[in-house]
Amino acid sequence: MNSIVFIRKAMHWRRILKSTFLLTVCLAFLSSCHSKTGTTENFVIHKGVNLSHWLSQDFGWEPKYTYIKESDIKFLDSLGFDHVRIPASWNFHTGPGPDFVISNAFLERVHAVVTGLLARGINVLLNVHHFTDFYANPAAWTNKLYAIWDQLAVYYSNAPPGLAFEILNEPHDQATTEFMNDVYAFLIPHIRQSNPERTIFVSPGFWASAGELSKLRLPASDSNLIVTIHTYDPDLYTGQGAPWLGNRVKTTNVVFPGPPPVPLAPHPDAATDPAVVSWFEQYNSLPEQLNPCSRNAFIGDLDYARDWSVYYGRPIHVGEFGAYSASDLPSRANYYRQMREEMDRRGLGWAAWDWKAGYYFWDRNAGAPATGLQ
C-alpha cells in the first residue's frame, strides 16, 4: 500500500472511464464465457490475508523478525484462510551488485514461515515489496530485481505448488504498466526455466490499479498467471487518520456507509482541497445508494476487473484492500462485509490488508478477530 494512491485514484478512474478499451464486446457474451476470475488450475485461492509490517520494511525495528509466530499460523489456519500473502523487501537484504546475493539470515526467516504455512495446507504468495529505488528509476534497478528472482526461483524450484511468486508489489511512478510489460516479458520465461508449473502473479502500474489493466501485456502462451489489483476506495474513509497519508485524510469519524447521522465537516487542513470538500458535501447529503462512501466507491473497479478477466481469460486477485483502524469498528465491519460480498459475487479471490497491524483483522489484545470482521 502507498499513500499517493489515495490522492490520485479518483481522478485516474474518471480518465479510465473514457478509455477506448471496449469491454462491452465482452459483456455481450458474458453468459457463454467461462470466467477464471478466482484461480488457476495450479493455485486455487479465495480467502486470504497479508502478513504486513513484518518483512516488508527496513526501519531498524528488530522485533519485526519475531512479529509473526507459530501461534499466528495456527490462528490463520483455524479461521479458514486458504492463502497468505507475504510482503518481503528482499531489496533491503542483498549484497552489492552485480550478484545482489540475498542474505541467508533473511531468507531463512521468510522460509520458516513459508514452510509452516504450506505444512498446514495454506497457500503462500511471496512477493518483492517496497522496492523504492526501482519505482523511482526502474531502468537502473532492473538487474537487481532480476537477480533477486534468479535466486528465489532456484531456491524454491522444488517447492510445492501451493507457493506462488508475485514479481513486484504495486509498480508506480516510473515503473509504469508499459515498463513492467517488458519486465514481465523477460522475467516470466526466465522463472519458467526452473519453475515451469509455478503460478506467477503480476500487477499493472499505478499502484496495481484496475484502471491500468487495459495497458497490461502478458505472454500469450503462459496460462499459469494471475493478475493482482489493489483497491482502497473510498480513500477518505479507509485511510482516515493514518498519519503517513497526509492532510487529505485527516478528517476522522467518517462512517461507512454514508450518510452520517450528523453532517461532518472536513478537517481544516483538508478543507483547502476542492475534491475533498465536494466529497464531503455528497457524503453528508446523498442516500446510501448514491453516496460516495458506500460500495459505489469500489464496485466500478471490481466490475472492470471482472470484465477484463472474462475477456482475456486471465484470473484476477484483489491482493490488498482494507480500512485503517482509526475507523469505528461497526463501520469497519460494514466495509469488510460489503467488500467481500462484492468480490465474492464476481468470483474474485482476495487478500485483506492486513493481519494484525494498522488495518488489522486479528485483534492482538483480544486474541480474536476484530469485532464483526470474521
The CATH code of the domain that includes 129 is 3.20.20.80
> From the CA atom positions of the chain, what is the Rg in Å?
20
Asked if residue 64 has pLDDT above 80, the reply is no
Number of H helices, E strands in the chain: 12, 10
* Dihedral angle sign, alpha carbons of residues 151, 157, 163, 168: positive
Instruction: Give Cα separations from 242 to 8, 96, 235 (angstroms).
Output: 17, 35, 11
In a domain, residue 144? The reply is: yes
Instruction: Kindly state whether residue 265 falls inside one of the protein's structural domains.
Output: no
Q: Could you tell me if residue 275 is inside a domain?
A: no
Average pLDDT, the chain: 89
Instruction: Give 235-291 as a DSSP string.
Output: HHHHTTT-GGG-GGG------SSSPPSS--PPPTTTTT-HHHHHHHHHHHHS-GGG-
The string of pLDDT tens digits covering residues 106-159 is 999 899 989 999 999 999 999 999 999 999 999 999 999 999 999 999 999 999
For residue 291, is it within any domain? no
- Asked if the model's pLDDT at residue 26 lies above 50, the reply is no
Q: What is the DSSP letter of 91?
A: G
Whole-angstrom Cα distance, residue 170 to residue 131?
A: 10
From the list 277, 317, 276, 291, the residue with the least C-alpha distance to 43 is 317
Confidence of residue 341 (pLDDT cuts 50, 70, 90): very high
Count of other CB atoms within 10 angstroms of residue 269: 13
Indicate whether 364 belongs to any domain: yes
In a domain, 50, yes or no: yes
Q: Is the residue at 106 inside a domain? A: yes
Over residues 82-93, the mean pLDDT reads: 94
Q: Is the pLDDT of residue 17 over 80?
A: no
Q: How many domains does the chain have?
A: 1
CA distance 49 to 363: 14
Please tell me what DSSP assigns to residue 170.
S
Q: Which of 362, 326, 349 is nearest to 52 (CA)?
A: 362
